[in-house]
Structure 1
Amino acid sequence: MFLRRVCAKRSCSIAFALIFISGTKVEAQQKSTLKGQITSVNQLSDITPNDWAYSALQSLVERYGCIVGYSNRTYRGNFTLSRWEFAAGLNACLNTIERLIQENFILKNDLDKLIRLAKEFETELAVLGAKVDFLEQQVAFLEDHQFTTTTQLRGEVIFAVSGAFGNKQAVSSGRSQSDRNVEDNITFTNRVRLSLNTSFRGQDLLRLRLQARNTIPFGTAVTGSNMTRLGFDGNDNNRLDINQAFYRFPLGDLVTIQLDAVNVGLTARGVPTYSPVDSGARDAISRYGYSPIYRQGGGPGLDITINPRGIIGANFSYLASTGDNSDSGQGLTNGDFSALAQLNLQPNSVLQFGLTYAHSYETPERGNVSFLQNTGSVLTSRPFGNIATTGNHYGTQATIRFSPHISLFGWGGYSQAIAEDSPNSVANLRGSQGSKADLFYYAVGLAFFDLFQEGSLAGLIFGQPPKLINNEVRETVNSRVRKREDDDTSYHLEAFYRFPITNNIEVTPGFLVIFNPEHNKNNSTLYVGTVRTTFRF
């Protein structure tokens, strides 16, 4: 029973479970069950990636996340496993799915698949103490009560009490301290997401996601800097919109295609970020919870994933934020877009890392240019002013999983911005079309899983937000002509602790500190605190 409790944890991996299987004595009654059936583990044939059971469990893990032991939260099903290892993974899925069944989250065809697996590995599951009768009892119930046998409704609601604090608002590098105070009123905000997940063939997914929110960003209007923004912010005055619509399907055994009609960024497209504390509803509180290279672009597009569970894999993505506009200079190929290619290297369950290149093109047609999506200083967002800008982005990200409970992670990136329109059109800028600017950023962090409580996550992040380190364009400041660069260095320090109240409610207090905001040592330190409550159903 101790093993079953361990394997039910979110951080359980197959390898971790195997350690306990090999080191735990089988109770007398369980030994009696196996007597006369199995005399040696060697009599059990291994489970290979070509077996039906392998692909069946893979599909359950991908859809319901019932094995999350690897730091990038995927089940790397490309290795041969013993039946004991496989049964440990299946048992972890059973524990998770028992809860999801009661919440009406499971598709009937997936239940049928799970029942077949449970019967095939009945002997091994008996050793682990798993009970599978409950699954069969629920099939008839679901057939009578599901509003559809192909679609499940998932919901996520955030309530957040937040505030930004500091002496004075930040100003750009090279300027004296502002005389404007930080807008430090405490706010109570929300974000609501409802997702309809539909599968027609068991391996495909059609997702429609509705969103409403009223979380005003702690950006330049509040603190003078976008470095203080929260990862779940955004204000639509609680207007309900479709903010995600895609169809994902496999193409053979190694390739997955995703077609996007609406998407808000590359992280929604299956591209691993190698950060176990991704920004959003449940993990890091800031926008800097993963590398800014993944925040390029949005809109309609295409994503291709190759061998996602293998030692070597790859992702290719293309998003066009003006892809729904047929006007001149817009559309899928003539307007704003971002393209990304990533090589994924996952040699084992301890070390995973990615090498990433992205290319972006952004114009002020739909608002202000926001190079690297407002994760750094104001100067990094618009190196040449609010004009069309091309970007070449290079990044590396890695995670080291020291144990099922501790991960070290980090990322670093370099971007080069290129002016596509002449900055001469901006009053205080001097330069020419084709001018270039260089940006650099990095971060390291620690993640602690199940700290003090099962299902909890504590995170710590330290790094340098994107900084403009070289720029060919100059600007006039106080009658002086100077390079438009960040002179000093900002530092980002973030800590949070997520703990579950129930299976569906989690509370995350978090604190963010920005030293020398806007890469200007003349600015006072800025602070952001939040208590985020997440409801999932």
Structure 2
Amino acid sequence: SAFGQRNPIYRLGGGAGIGFDYAFGGRGLLGGVFGPTSLSFGYLASNAANPTKGAGLFNGDYAAMGQLTFTPGRNLQVALNYNHGYFNRGNFGFDNGLGNGPGSLGGFTGTGVANSINGLSDGFAGFGARKVVSNSYGAQASLRLNPRFILGGWAGLTNARILGVGDARIWNYAVTLALPDLGKEGNLLGFVVGREPYLDKLEAAGSLSSFRNDQSWHLEGFYKYQLTDNISVTPGVIWVTNPNQNRDNDDIIIGTLRTTFMF
């Protein structure tokens, strides 16, 4: 699933941009204390090719992000990240910068309440859509307990300001388990348990700050079977409880089947 791939704060913003990565190796203070270390920066603009006002590489939606990655041991890797974003009316969402306004598919991951900030960012709350400025903080880790048992996870916090309306807080977190080469080399059994981006707090005038916050959990399991060196088949199942942060909604169970060809 989109949620199971990586921390959703990476999905705030998308499009064309630039990035670089600098590896410290084991040198300096960071390398001496935390092992091989790298620092990455990136800048993405959702409408970089659009020359109109409020768009373009520097005048429209953008996301500026940085990541510091530590490798304190051969089997342990830890990363800290930050993402600062600006989103025009109706464009905020965990959707790689595609926009969450009317006619869109909504966020790739997370509740509808979180992706629309309770309808305030996209205009569904009864007045015009609003611009959003966000600051997101994340941490993730991966620990290889042995060659066939890898434990991982992440947590992400997004503080969003709906300009002229108020402030919101969005959380997400997950624990992952991977068992590579189960059955034969190239196979992978994986599990993901966590909460997709959900609106936790909203400070706005009057009834605008009222929303449901029932715990919605994402439970996922999949098994990648390597048919040949170039073809794999991955069946899986996803169970989402209390969809859209509302226990009145029926749970969603999704069966998946993916075939991957590699050339």
Whether the aligned pair in 1 keeps the contact of 2:231 and 2:260 (CA below 8 Å) is yes
Match of 1:372 in 2: 94
- Aligned equivalents of 1:301 and 1:390: distance in 2? 19
Among 248, 258, 261, the residue aligned to 1:532: 258
Pairwise CA distance, 1:299 = 1.8
- Aligned equivalents of 2:76 and 2:218: distance in 1? 25
Among 149, 163, 168, the residue aligned to 1:406: 149
- Aligned equivalents of 1:370 and 1:498: distance in 2? 33
Q: Does 1:357 align with 2:82?
A: yes
- Aligned equivalents of 1:484 and 1:299: distance in 2? 33
Whether the aligned pair in 1 keeps the contact of 2:165 and 2:205 (CA below 8 Å) is no
Correspondence 1:376-391 to 2 at 5 A: 376-383=110-117, 384-386=120-122, 387-391=130-134
TM-score, normalising length: structure 1 = 0.42
Q: Does 1:505 align with 2:239?
A: no
Among 181, 189, 211, the residue aligned to 1:450: 181
Q: What secondary structure, in the 3-state scheme, does the structure 2 residue paired with 1:371 have?
A: coil
Give 1 or 2: higher strand fraction: 2
Q: Does 1:494 align with 2:220?
A: yes
Pairwise CA distance, 1:369 = 2.2
- Aligned equivalents of 1:325 and 1:493: distance in 2? 39
- Aligned equivalents of 2:205 and 2:113: distance in 1? 12
- Aligned equivalents of 1:286 and 1:390: distance in 2? 23
- Aligned equivalents of 1:377 and 1:309: distance in 2? 39
Q: What secondary structure, in the 3-state scheme, does the structure 1 residue paired with 2:38 have?
A: strand
Whether the aligned pair in 2 keeps the contact of 1:397 and 1:411 (CA below 8 Å) is yes
Computing the radius of gyration from Cα coordinates, the structure with the larger value is 1
Q: Does 1:516 align with 2:242?
A: yes
- Aligned equivalents of 1:324 and 1:469: distance in 2? 35
Q: What secondary structure, in the 3-state scheme, does the structure 2 residue paired with 1:346 have?
A: strand
Q: Does 1:320 align with 2:27?
A: no
Q: What secondary structure, in the 3-state scheme, does the structure 1 residue paired with 2:9 have?
A: helix
Among 448, 451, 459, the residue aligned to 2:190: 459
Whether the aligned pair in 2 keeps the contact of 1:316 and 1:342 (CA below 8 Å) is yes
- Aligned equivalents of 1:335 and 1:440: distance in 2? 25
Q: What secondary structure, in the 3-state scheme, does the structure 2 residue paired with 1:307 have?
A: strand
Q: What secondary structure, in the 3-state scheme, does the structure 1 residue paired with 2:74 have?
A: coil
Q: What secondary structure, in the 3-state scheme, does the structure 2 residue paired with 1:451 have?
A: coil
Whether the aligned pair in 2 keeps the contact of 1:393 and 1:414 (CA below 8 Å) is yes
- Aligned equivalents of 2:180 and 2:2: distance in 1? 19
* Residues 269-314 of structure 1 deviation map (CA, whole Å, 9 limit, x = unaligned): xxxxxxxxxxxxxxxx344321101112122211010107651111
- Aligned equivalents of 1:312 and 1:289: distance in 2? 22
* Residues 133-152 of structure 1 deviation map (CA, whole Å, 9 limit, x = unaligned): xxxxxxxxxxxxxxxxxxxx
- Aligned equivalents of 2:205 and 2:234: distance in 1? 43
Among 293, 306, 322, the residue aligned to 2:22: 306
Q: What secondary structure, in the 3-state scheme, does the structure 1 residue paired with 2:185 have?
A: coil
Q: Which amino acid is 2:223 matched to?
A: Y
Among 51, 56, 59, the residue aligned to 1:331: 56
The change in CA–CA distance for 1:286 and 1:318 in structure 2 (over 3 A counts) is: closer
- Aligned equivalents of 2:251 and 2:225: distance in 1? 28
The change in CA–CA distance for 1:529 and 1:514 in structure 2 (over 3 A counts) is: same
* Residues 72-97 of structure 1 deviation map (CA, whole Å, 9 limit, x = unaligned): xxxxxxxxxxxxxxxxxxxxxxxxxx
Whether the aligned pair in 2 keeps the contact of 1:286 and 1:512 (CA below 8 Å) is no
* Residues 353-396 of structure 1 deviation map (CA, whole Å, 9 limit, x = unaligned): 101110011114xxx42422221111111112312111100010
Q: Which amino acid is 1:493 matched to?
A: L
- Aligned equivalents of 2:71 and 2:58: distance in 1? 33
TM-score, normalising length: structure 2 = 0.84
- Aligned equivalents of 1:372 and 1:511: distance in 2? 22
* Residues 468-514 of structure 1 deviation map (CA, whole Å, 9 limit, x = unaligned): 11112257xxxxx3624342110000000001111011000000000
The change in CA–CA distance for 1:302 and 1:286 in structure 2 (over 3 A counts) is: closer
Correspondence 1:15-34 to 2 at 5 A: none
The change in CA–CA distance for 1:289 and 1:484 in structure 2 (over 3 A counts) is: farther
The change in CA–CA distance for 1:340 and 1:361 in structure 2 (over 3 A counts) is: same
Q: Which amino acid is 1:379 matched to?
A: V
| Structure 1: gaps spanning 5 or more residues | 1-284, 421-432, 476-480
Correspondence 1:74-473 to 2 at 5 A: 285-307=1-23, 311-364=36-89, 368-373=90-95, 374=107, 375-383=109-117, 384-386=120-122, 387-420=130-163, 433=164, 435-473=166-204
Whether the aligned pair in 1 keeps the contact of 2:216 and 2:240 (CA below 8 Å) is yes
Question: Quick one: percent identity of the two aligned structures?
Answer: 37
Whether the aligned pair in 2 keeps the contact of 1:417 and 1:436 (CA below 8 Å) is yes
Give 1 or 2: higher helix fraction: 1
Match of 2:101 in 1: none
